Amino acid sequence: MLTISNQPILREEQLDQYRSYRHLTENKPPDRFRKIVLGLTLAFVLFTFLPWTQNIRSRGQITALRPDQRPQTLQSVIGGRIEHWYVAEGDTVRKGDTLLHISEIKEDYFDTLLLDNTRRQIQAGASTVGSYESKINALRAQLKALDATRINKIKQASIQLAQTRLKVNSDSSELQAAMMQENITQQQYKRSRELYEGGLQPLTEYEARRQRAQEAEARRITVENRVLASRNAILDAEMELTTLENEFQEKIAKVSSELFETETALFKSRASLDKLGNQYANYAVRSGLYWLLAPQDGVITQARKTGLGELVSAGEEIVSIAPIHPSLAVEMYVRPVDIPLLHKKQKVRFLFDGWPAVVFSGWPGISFGTFGGTVIAVDPFTSKNGLYRVLVSPDPDDKPWPAALRVGSGASGIALLNDVPIWYEIWRQLNGFPPDYYEMKEAPAEKKPA
């Protein structure tokens, strides 16, 4: 023994007499302790083979299933001044009930008889359009009459021209005959003079031949004058035909120009009439916008504009309304890594804020105070927070959700996945693997022999 002190050892202690020393020096543990350790080990091994429901937990809030059943803020379509409130916050209203009355603030609409005056302007414009249409019909009838008269006059002048040309032909033939007759009488006169100078013919016969020659010459000259006069008549007839054509073309062009001017005025009047009709419709619609009506049955929740005489701008929020009995749903957000695990008609359990619950996430069957839901929509894109939005409606096969739930309340969702042994879940958690991320692929179909 190592001597540490100079003091002598008066006696030796018998350590075996102490029970604690005997416990430390015993090599084998007691049977009771061994049984306890063995039982706990066996219980843990059996426990790892119990079923465990994989799940995805997420936080969300209650919303309305249909967009038209969600709380909304009513805006004024036009700018105005608040004249009278017909409701108070918390009042229940029906669709079409009057909530607010505003008055006009734009000087273009101050006229209290604006609709009546515009209606009279429309009636005057319609009368103007009718007058222009009547004038157009009259001008078109005048054009038809002028065209018919022109055709008749031209036909008449053409016939007269043809008659003149026939008369020229007749006179020309007569001129040829007169010239031939003149030539014959001249030849007879010449032979008669030779006979007279030879003393073979008496003087009376000679003078008669000379007289007939002079008469034939005179006749030729007369017929030639008629031919020239007929030719001048042809020129006059042609000129008259051209003059008639020009006169009627001028008249038709004048009436056509007046017709086109009238049609232009008619189009302008119709455009003005359509513009007045548009203005009247706008005025009529605007007159109905002075009263703010409830778009659906609901409860008035918050007035953004208060008091009387306060001005509101077009599109400015005035009052909020919430539907009375909306179809509830929960919108929750999940991580992108979990989105492949979610699909439509998947089961989800919820814990609503204000409702006590005892939850065992791995054993939803023994949880208390949770409510069932079914996934109805998964957004194909991320929200502003970088997560995917999932919309869950009440499960029709489960107990109904509490009637006191309100839109906007919080909810914790547990999306239920496949059932696996606890040992598999522990192994997955230790390795950081996602739950059931990999799906079994279907075996390829065998090709049929050709």
Same domain, 264 and 298: no
**Tokens 């509830």 correspond to what residue?**
328
| 302 plus 348 within the same structural domain | no
Cβ pair 416, 56 in contact under 8 A: no
Residue 261 banded pLDDT, cuts 50, 70, 90: very high
**pLDDT tens digit string along 366-401?**
455 678 888 898 888 888 888 889 999 998 888 888
Q: Which residues contact 410 (CB under 8 A, 6 or more apart)?
A: 59, 60, 61, 62, 352, 353
Do residues 336 and 270 share a domain?
A: no
State pLDDT tens for residues 404-417.
888 888 888 877 66
HSE at residue 160, side-chain half, CA atoms within 13 A, is: 15
Q: Are residue 349 and residue 264 in the same domain, yes or no?
A: no
330 and 248 in one domain?
no
Judge whether 102 lies within some domain: no
Which of the 8 DSSP states describes residue 384? T
Helix, strand, coil tally for the chain in percent (to 5): 50, 20, 30
Cβ atoms of residues 69 and 326 within 8 Å: yes
The answer to the question of residue 39 being in a domain is: no
Residue 333: domain span: 47-68+326-431
Cα separation, 171 vs 391, in Å, equals: 112
Helical segments of 2-69, H only: 19-25, 31-48
Specify the pLDDT at position 53: 65
Q: 278 pLDDT band (50/70/90 cuts)?
A: very high
Residue 442: pLDDT band by 50, 70, 90 thresholds?
A: very low
Residue 450 or 436, more confident: 436
Block residue for tokens 């909306």: 326
Helix (H, G, I), strand (E, B) or coil at 66: coil
- Give the chain's domain count: 3
Same domain, 121 and 190: yes
pLDDT bracket for residue 435 (50, 70, 90): low
Cα 194 to Cα 201: distance, rounded to the nearest angstrom: 9
Residue 163 forms part of a structural domain: yes
Residue 441 vs residue 322, higher pLDDT: 322
**Who contacts 141 (Cβ-Cβ below 8 Å, separation ≥6)?**
none
How many Cβ atoms are within 10 Å of 347's Cβ, its own excluded?
A: 18
Domain annotation covers residue 29: no
Averaged pLDDT for residues 109-119 = 85
122 with 268, same domain: the answer is yes
Taking only the tens place, the pLDDT of each residue in 31-82 is: 677 778 778 878 777 766 666 666 677 888 888 888 888 888 888 888 889 9
Residues 368 and 300 in one domain: no
The predicted structure's pLDDT at residue 418? 62
Task: Give domain status of residue 240, yes or no.
Answer: yes
Q: Are 52 and 421 in contact (CB under 8 A)?
A: yes
- State how far the Cα of 213 lies from the Cα of 178, in Å rounded to an integer: 11
Instruction: Tell me whether residue 24 is in a domain.
Output: no
189 located within any domain: yes
Q: Pick 46 or 123 by higher pLDDT.
A: 123
Tell whether 215 and 161 lie within a shared domain: yes
User: Tokens 């219980």 label which residue?
Assistant: 43
pLDDT tens sequence across 87-107: 988 899 999 899 999 988 888
Between these two residues, 49 and 160, which has the higher pLDDT value?
A: 160
162 vs 155, 169, 190, CA distance in Å?
10, 11, 42
Between CA 328 and CA 63 the distance in angstroms is: 6
At which of 263, 286, 309 does a domain end?
A: 286
Look at 124-133, 208-217, 344-353 and tell me which has the smallest mean pLDDT. Answer: 208-217
Q: Tell me, yes or no, if the pTM score tops 0.85.
A: no
For the ranges 111-115, 121-125, 158-162, 191-195, the maximum mean pLDDT occurs at: 121-125
Q: Helix or strand or coil: residue 378?
A: strand
Q: What percent of the chain has pLDDT over 90?
A: 12
Number of neighbouring beta carbons within 10 Å of residue 400: 10
Q: Which helix (H) or strand (E) holds 299?
A: strand 298-303
For residue 75 the two structure tokens come to: 């805006």
Asked whether the predicted pLDDT for residue 10 surpasses 70, the reply is: no
Residues 273 and 243 in one domain: yes
More confident residue, 142 or 422: 142
Burial per residue of 142-173, b for 16 or more beta-carbon CB atoms within 10 angstroms, e otherwise: bbeebeeebeebeeebeebbeebbebbeebbe
Q: Which of 271, 247, 234, 290 is nearest to 100 (CA)?
A: 290
Taking the CA of residue 41 as centre, how many other CA atoms within 13 Å lie in the half-sphere pointing to its CB? 6
Question: Looking at the structure, do residues 89 and 119 belong to the same domain, yes or no?
Answer: no
CATH for 196: 1.10.287.950
Is residue 167 located within the same domain as residue 218?
yes
With respect to residue 40, please indicate whether it lies within any of the assigned structural domains. no
Distance CA 74, CA 295 (A): 9
Which residues are CB-neighbours of 48 under 8 A, at least 6 positions away? Answer: 421, 422, 423, 426
Structure confidence at residue 431 as a pLDDT band (50, 70, 90): low
